[in-house]
Amino acid sequence: MALTRRQIEDAAMEILRSYGLADLSMRRLARDLGVQPGALYWHVKNKQELLGVLAGQILAAVPEPDGGRPDGLEDQASGAVGTPEAGSSGDGRGSVRQLALDIRSALLSVRDGADVVSLAQAMTPETLPAINTLRRLLERGGLSAQHAAWGARTLTHCILGSVAEEQTHADLAAAGLLPEGAERNNDDEAFLFGVDAVLAGLGLAGRP
Amino acid sequence: MALTRRQIEDAAMEILRSYGLADLSMRRLARDLGVQPGALYWHVKNKQELLGVLAGQILAAVPEPDGGRPDGLEDQASGAVGTPEAGSSGDGRGSVRQLALDIRSALLSVRDGADVVSLAQAMTPETLPAINTLRRLLERGGLSAQHAAWGARTLTHCILGSVAEEQTHADLAAAGLLPEGAERNNDDEAFLFGVDAVLAGLGLAGRP
DNA sequence: ACCTGAACACCGTTCAAGT
DNA sequence: ACCTGAACACCGTTCAAGT
């Protein structure tokens, strides 16, 4: 019956999904697993490492972008995105845009997902594969290695910042503490506006 | 001799500057002031409110952008910025760029400044004047109200994300925990690359 | 190898009671 | 009005000792 690292990770993810980052403590985790807090430290180095793993799992749901230069259908468009050119086509700008949307859906699918990934990425940057893919796509889009790296970081900041804002407001709304008149229906549009601005600024053409 | 709210804020800022956000606790603050923890709560609602005030003070160091459309000299260029068109001229894009640089210097001047402002802004968005100025400048640059608001948020995410990354690495370096070979000299260039990309993407012309 | 028990050194916040 | 004393309900982490 011995406690597994896998069980710890799963229980942690469960707390995150159901109660959010504020409720994810090592002691709470141990309680849920019916074990003493110290027991966790035989399987896990510390809380930071655990959060890093959770961040990786959250982003593992991001699909790899389609290969060379296809024109196939992209999956998982997270509801209605609004803008006309939503379908995206082949490579260059479309795939980066689609990847940004996919990262966003992955983050949104877990409570406080953006905060978890931000924490993990602050400690161990350039480690998360999804962000690395962002960089690779920019490079394939014609940017130099340096510009692609900087561009990927800029996009990452926009994505994480935007989704974190979105989720924080969702948390506040759930807690019933909203200043008043907080409509906030056009998060999708706001997100795409930011991403598209960065992409345009990086010189990624809309339609080659 | 009664404890003042002012003293609390100053002591808090002092801890922040000298030891960073991780060391800024209500209990530590009380100890430094030679008072019981509970005493703080007569002058301050809670820790969150205090952090919000600190965030405001950090950004209060950001100079207001020059008036109508001058061509005067801008102050406080935070060391060498690298890129050729550093001087900036008049209004439109230059002033936004300069404001972004000024916000960055203000954040960098306090340990973990970006994290403090991020926390504060997450709870009470659209409250910090410097970020509002960003939006006003974009609107004056020809963007619609909606696009200016979204553009300001995008810029804010880039600035806060970029500086937070920078400061986290500084903290890790100070703690002596760096993976190895962490050069990281070109933070200025990386920052400007991101900001310029967003500005270009927003349609702000380089030289009218 | 894997876990308990117990400790160490902390948190934020509240609130009766004192002055 | 302003603060103390003391509590409440927590943290992350370590580590001897048990099995």
Q: Which amino acid is at A19?
A: Y
Q: What is the mean pLDDT of residues B31-50?
A: 98
Residues B170-196 pLDDT 10s: 888 888 777 666 677 899 999 999 999
Quote the pLDDT of residue A173: 83
Residue B119 Cα, gap to closest chain A Cα (Å): 10
Chain position carrying tokens 């082949």: A90
Residue A11 Cα, gap to closest chain B Cα (Å): 27
Residues written for chain A = 208
DSSP-assigned states of every residue in B123-150: HSTT--HHHHHHHHHHHHTT--HHHHHH
In this complex, the residue of A150, A172, A197 whose CB is nearest that of residue B198 is A197
The CA distance from B204 to B154, in Å, is 14
Is the predicted pLDDT of residue A83 greater than 80, yes or no? no
Quote the pLDDT of residue B63: 96
Residue nearest to nucleotide D10 (CA to C1'): A27
Between the alpha carbon of residue A32 and those of residues A22, A47, A52, the distances in Å are 15, 16, 20
Quote the pLDDT of residue B188: 97
pLDDT category at A184 given cuts 50, 70, 90 is confident
Q: Which amino acid is at B147?
A: H
Is the predicted pLDDT of residue B59 greater than 80, yes or no? yes
Q: Average pLDDT, whole number, for chain A?
A: 87
Is the predicted pLDDT of residue A175 greater than 70, yes or no? yes
Residues A90-146 pLDDT 10s: 467 789 999 999 999 999 999 999 999 999 998 887 889 999 999 999 999 999 999
Q: What is the mean pLDDT of residues A148-170?
A: 97
Quote the pLDDT of residue A85: 43
Produce one character per residue of B113-146: b if its CB has 16 or more CB atoms within 10 Å, e if not.
bbbbbbbbbbbeeeebebbebbbebbbbbebeee
Between the alpha carbon of residue B10 and those of residues A207, B50, B109, B115, B116, the distances in Å are 54, 11, 15, 18, 15
Contact B202 A202 (CB under 8 A): no
Quote the pLDDT of residue A91: 60
Q: List, as own/partner pairs, every contact residues A81-90 make where C-beta atoms lie below 8 angstroms and the sequence separation is at least 24, other chains included.
A: A81/A188, A81/A192, A82/A186, A82/A188, A82/A189, A82/A192, A83/A189, A83/A192, A85/A206, A89/A207
Chain B residue numbers touching A165 (CB-CB < 8 A): 122, 125, 153, 157
In this complex, the residue of A165, A194, A202 whose CB is nearest that of residue B122 is A165
Quote the pLDDT of residue B67: 65
In angstroms, how far is C1 C1' from A20 CA? 33
What lies within 8 Å, CB to CB, of A51 at 6+ separation is A116, A119, A120
Residues A15-51 pLDDT 10s: 999 999 999 999 999 999 999 999 999 999 999 999 9
Q: If you compute the radius of gyration of chain B from its CA atoms, what whole number of angstroms results?
A: 19
Residues A8-21 pLDDT 10s: 999 999 999 999 99
Q: What is the mean pLDDT of residues B67-81?
A: 44
pTM: 0.90
pLDDT category at A67 given cuts 50, 70, 90 is low
Cite residues whose beta carbon is less than 7 Å from strand C: A 1-3, 35-39, 42-43; B 24-28, 37-38, 41, 46-48
Task: Output the CA torsion sign for B137, B65, A203, A130.
Answer: negative
Quote the pLDDT of residue B77: 41
Chain A residue numbers touching B158 (CB-CB < 8 A): 154, 157-158, 161
pLDDT category at A62 given cuts 50, 70, 90 is very high
Where does residue A73 rank: exposed (0-12), middle (13-18), buried (19+ CB within 10 A)?
exposed
Q: Which of A184, A198, A199 to mutate to test the interface with B (most CBs of B within 10 A)?
A: A198
Chain B residue numbers touching A153 (CB-CB < 8 A): 161-162, 165, 190, 194
Cite residues whose beta carbon is less than 7 Å from strand D: A 24-28, 37-38, 41, 46-48; B 1-3, 35-39, 42-43
pLDDT category at B81 given cuts 50, 70, 90 is very low
Contact B154 A201 (CB under 8 A): no
Quote the pLDDT of residue A164: 98
B110 and B86 Cβ atoms separated by less than 8 Å:
no
Query: Cα angle vertex A59, ends A5, A197, to 5°?
Result: 160
Contact A158 B156 (CB under 8 A): no
Residues B150-166 pLDDT 10s: 999 999 999 999 999 99
Question: For residue A175, which of A10, A23, A6 has the smallest C-alpha distance?
Answer: A23
DSSP-assigned states of every residue in B47-96: HHHHHHHHHHHHHHTSPPPPSSS--PPPP---S---STTTT--SSTHHHH
Quote the pLDDT of residue A178: 72
Question: For residue A167, which of A25, A48, A45, A20 has the smallest C-alpha distance?
Answer: A20
Higher-confidence residue of B90 and A128: namely A128
Quote the pLDDT of residue A207: 41
In angstroms, how far is C6 C1' from B30 CA? 29
The CA distance from B180 to B167, in Å, is 17
* Tokens (6 digits) for B141: 């640059």
pLDDT category at B133 given cuts 50, 70, 90 is very high
